[in-house]
């Protein structure tokens, strides 16, 4: 008998090596489109003014809040809140039609936010484009990536100001300081500019031809008018104006001819409330140290009209007030500049937020003109042609007859 033995058995197989781990990176997000940016702007706007708001959110009183601007469109007085925050520049955040006569004067009806005809607004430049209007690749984008835009009154054309590459705003009769706003009225473009001390307005033809600054009437020196402590106004389809020193004077400029006329507002004498050097100091520097009596005098007579917006009627101006009277529209005599009446728009309280949501039904037309000649509106003008197709949203509606601001 034989005994067989083995030497401890077979060697165990080696453990398999783990497969190398391969990290799968997610694909990069698609590039942001103008539609994406438009949706983001829309969502940001609703965070400021809720959809359907029928009152003014109190946040609009804050420094840097969207600015209330006024226009006459069709048969309506239209107020829009225009964003001023330079890091986002949402454009029109919300718009409302406002009743200006009858028992419902001041009642607001929410409207889709669209640019106001002729009135300029600043926008951010994204991917070399401004709201879907793309610049030539060789155009240098400014360091703050901001462009100035304005639709014409018909909503069929748009002007975009980015540097001097399309046509120069400099040179003979051209802008000599930093552009701050662009407007389009009739057959003229208007560029507001500032050097920190004065804010003149320069006129250009849509072709790019420089006409020169709007100058003061009278006097030996042809000094440009300044919107500092005043404002630039689009009165109607044929006239613009420059208000100076809280509407102390109003110089009207006819777009077609360049003819100018001047109105002077009668302001109560300061008496012992203000010394001449106090008034001069205030006009040169809003933070100037003046007496409490003088400050009160200026607030009562000037502050609410510094930066005021206005549209023209046959006998009166409808004016968006500022400062302590923000949220009010005033009916002002078109010859004497005396205030006839005020129309108060409602402010939202804390509980309301943006106020109750407006009905989905179309808003009723404003009441027909009545004996209240200070605020009635003229009949509607013809509907504007549609704006040309583009990536961004359509242009503004066509403004109505120049006398749409009240009789």
Q: What is the pLDDT of residues 159-193, one digit of tens each?
A: 999 865 555 676 667 787 789 999 999 999 999 99
Position 195 scores a pLDDT of 87
Chain centroid, CA 144 distance in Å? 18
Position 27 scores a pLDDT of 86
In order of 17, 102, 113, 137, the CA distances from 110 in angstroms are 69, 19, 9, 39
Which of the residues in the chain have pLDDT under 70? 1-11, 163-168, 170-172, 350-407
Position 62 scores a pLDDT of 94
- Mean pLDDT, the chain, integer: 83
CATH 1.10.357 fits 34-267+302-344, yes or no: no
Cβ-contact 157, 188 below 8 angstroms: no
Cβ-contact 318, 302 below 8 angstroms: no
Position 17 scores a pLDDT of 78
Position 6 scores a pLDDT of 46
Position 28 scores a pLDDT of 86
Cβ-contact 149, 130 below 8 angstroms: yes
In order of 66, 79, 87, 120, 122, the CA distances from 84 in angstroms are 5, 15, 9, 12, 8
What pTM does this model have?
0.79
Cβ-contact 185, 255 below 8 angstroms: yes
Position 379 scores a pLDDT of 29
CA pair distance 182, 167, nearest whole angstrom? 14
């Amino acid at each position: 008998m034989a005994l067989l033995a083995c030497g401890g058995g077979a060697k165990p197989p080696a453990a398999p090596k783990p497969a190398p781990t391969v990290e799968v990176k997610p694909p990069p997000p698609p590039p942001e489109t103008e539609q994406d940016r438009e949706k983001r702007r829309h969502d940001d706007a609703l965070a400021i003014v809720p959809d359907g708001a029928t009152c003014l959110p109190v946040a609009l009183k804050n420094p840097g809040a969207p600015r209330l601007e006024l226009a006459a469109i069709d048969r309506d007085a239209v107020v829009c809140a225009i964003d001023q925050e330079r890091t986002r520049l949402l454009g029109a955040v919300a718009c409302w039609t406002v009743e200006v006569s009858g028992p419902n004067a001041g009642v607001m009806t929410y409207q889709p936010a669209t640019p106001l005809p002729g009135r300029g607004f600043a926008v951010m430049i994204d991917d070399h484009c401004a709201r879907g209007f793309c610049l030539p690749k060789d155009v240098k984008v400014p360091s703050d990536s901001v462009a100035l835009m304005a639709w014409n009154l018909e909503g069929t054309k748009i002007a975009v100001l980015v540097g001097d590459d399309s046509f120069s705003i400099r040179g003979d009769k051209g802008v000599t300081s930093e552009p701050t706003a662009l407007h389009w009225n009739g057959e003229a473009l208007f560029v507001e500019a500032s050097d920190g001390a004065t804010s003149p307005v320069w006129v250009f033809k849509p072709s790019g031809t420089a006409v020169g600054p709007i100058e003061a009437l009278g006097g030996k020196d042809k000094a440009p008018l300044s919107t500092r402590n005043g404002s630039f106004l689009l009165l109607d389809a044929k006239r613009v104006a420059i208000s100076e020193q809280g509407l102390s004077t109003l110089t009207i400029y006819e777009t077609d001819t360049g003819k100018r006329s001047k109105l002077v507002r009668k302001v109560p004498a300061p008496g012992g409330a203000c010394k001449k050097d106090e008034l001069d100091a205030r006009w040169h520097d809003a933070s100037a140290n003046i007496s409490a009596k003088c400050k009160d005098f200026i607030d009562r007579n000037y502050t609410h009209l510094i930066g005021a917006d206005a549209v023209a009627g046959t006998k009166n101006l409808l004016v968006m007030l500022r400062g302590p009277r923000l949220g009010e529209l005033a009916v002002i005599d078109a010859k004497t500049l005396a205030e006839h009446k005020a129309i108060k728009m409602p402010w939202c309280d804390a509980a309301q937020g943006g106020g109750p949501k407006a009905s989905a039904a179309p808003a009723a037309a404003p009441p027909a003109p009545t004996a209240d000649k200070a605020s009635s509106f003229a009949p509607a003008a013809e509907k504007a042609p549609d704006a040309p197709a583009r990536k961004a949203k359509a242009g503004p509606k066509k403004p109505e007859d120049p006398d749409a601001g009240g009789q």
